[in-house]
Amino acid sequence: MKIAWVTPFSHRSAIGRVSSVVTRALSDNSHEVVIIRSERDRNDAAPTHPTLLPLMWWHDISLDDLELSNDVIVLNFGDNYDYHAGTINYAFRGKNIGIFHDFYVYNLFNRWVVHNGFGEQIHNEEIRFTYGEDVSRLAKAAWNNDAGIEQIAETFPMIEWLARRCGAALAHSRFYVSRLGRSCPGPTAVAPLCFESREVEPLPIRHNDSVTITTVGVINPNKCSDAIIKSIASSSRLRRYCRFRLVGAISDTEASRLRALCNEVGFNNLDIVGSVDDRTLVTELERADVLTCLRNPVLEGGSASAIEGMKSGRPVIVADAGFYADLPGDIVFKIPRSIDIPVLTEVLERLASNERLRRETGARARDWARRTFSVESYLDVLEPLMEQFIRVKPLLAVGERVGQELAAIGATAGDPAIDILAKKMQDLFSVTPTEPDV
């Protein structure tokens, strides 16, 4: 089939990295693929991910033209408006397949409102329309920056705001697929995130007592680095033998906050490495004995850093929530989603004192992750979803037209005529509703 794949493609984009791998595999499977870059700024001079496929900008081609020349249009959604301005543009003009890399896309939504000059009224109206009048007060608070990220994630993550504009939807974890199923009018499915790992040497025998604990990725308060510092500082053994390294982009404010915390609790072995290139990241992963991948709250659909950690053969500590809750308990170390520091300390002490446990668990994680988070597993779900979407496109188009007509004559939710018409259309198009692949 002919596929238009809409995605950020800057080398800085993790979604772009996934897209590079998946589109290459689709092409190898005899599909005709064109990549449409979705970044807001077409003058971005950053290098792209590698590809031999045709590469275009969303600014240069309309959705009508894409639909005329392709069987399927795939929209990759993440929580960054600068990367996904083009994706939203297409989503508002037709129903296509949406891949939801993040569970929480409120920042994407909020920036879309601000960038387009819509203001508070549209912000609040869109949230109320999607989640009901009960969220009005929190919507106003969010607009005024008076709502916490955890409150917003629990109440209106805005994934439904996009899902209802898609004709099919793909999740990367089970914990949010039901939200897609309730809001997307077409088929939904779950596929383990496809992630091509870097070549990292397995965890070696160290021949010493020192232990390096590492967190990789963008270092923000959501990564719970403060909890890890407090945990290490609370244990005489951990404080004596452990270093904690932060590898990834970090703001000056967050770096200052964490250094101040270290001074407060008497921990002197924090290394803030900052952003690194791929080669240095491999070196840091090979240096690590334990990887922490904590989140509070969990906002992403699938965690590339957790997957990379497992594929590197290192033991990974996660919070028992969201994507991480689905990981087998014998290959990762789970702590409560509230990030309970005494429990975290117990897990770190167990890992720090048992090199064999670190190496054996890391090896099991590596084997499982390589099987699970592969491009082959991803296409096993994605290709059938695309075929199913093609079959139901006529029904979706008719359904949308009928819905507009019903709204014009004043029909409301619960009207028996809606159920009757829905059954008639299913019979007409020979479509059997399917459950999400969970």
pLDDT tens, 3-15? 999 999 999 899 9
Judgement on whether residues 177 and 274 belong to the same structural domain of the protein: no
Judgement on whether residues 357 and 385 belong to the same structural domain of the protein: no
- Could you read off the pLDDT of 339-383 as tens digits, one per residue? 999 999 999 999 999 999 999 999 999 999 999 999 999 999 999
Task: Determine the average pLDDT of the residues in 284-313.
Answer: 94
Task: Determine the average pLDDT of the residues in 54-73.
Answer: 96
- Could you read off the pLDDT of 113-130 as tens digits, one per residue? 999 999 999 999 999 999
| 8 Å CB contact between 163 and 102 | no
Q: What is the pLDDT of residue 76?
A: 98
Q: How many domains does the chain have?
A: 2
Judgement on whether residues 273 and 387 belong to the same structural domain of the protein: no
Residue 356 is assigned to a structural domain of this protein = yes
Judgement on whether residues 321 and 173 belong to the same structural domain of the protein: no
List the one residue out of 391, 7, 429 whose CA is nearest residue 187: 391
Residue 271 is assigned to a structural domain of this protein = yes
**Residue 43 confidence class, pLDDT cut points 50, 70, 90:** confident
Q: What is the pLDDT of residue 94?
A: 86
Q: What is the pLDDT of residue 435?
A: 42
Judgement on whether residues 24 and 8 belong to the same structural domain of the protein: yes
- Give the strand order in the sheet containing 32-37: 55-57, 32-37, 2-7, 72-77, 97-100, 168-171, 188-190
Whether 225 has a pLDDT exceeding 90, the answer reads: yes
Judgement on whether residues 303 and 178 belong to the same structural domain of the protein: no
Residue 330 is assigned to a structural domain of this protein = yes
Q: Which residues constitute the domain of residue 343? A: 211-372
Q: What is the pLDDT of residue 403?
A: 59
- According to DSSP, residue 194 is labeled P
CB count, 10 Å around CB of 317? 24
**Residue 415 confidence class, pLDDT cut points 50, 70, 90:** low
Judgement on whether residues 250 and 357 belong to the same structural domain of the protein: yes
| Chain centre to alpha carbon of residue 248 | 17
Per 3-state DSSP, the chain is made up of helix, strand and coil in percentages (nearest 5) of: 50, 15, 35
**Residue 424 confidence class, pLDDT cut points 50, 70, 90:** low
Provide the whole-model pTM: 0.88
Task: Determine the average pLDDT of the residues in 170-199.
Answer: 92
Judgement on whether residues 161 and 270 belong to the same structural domain of the protein: no
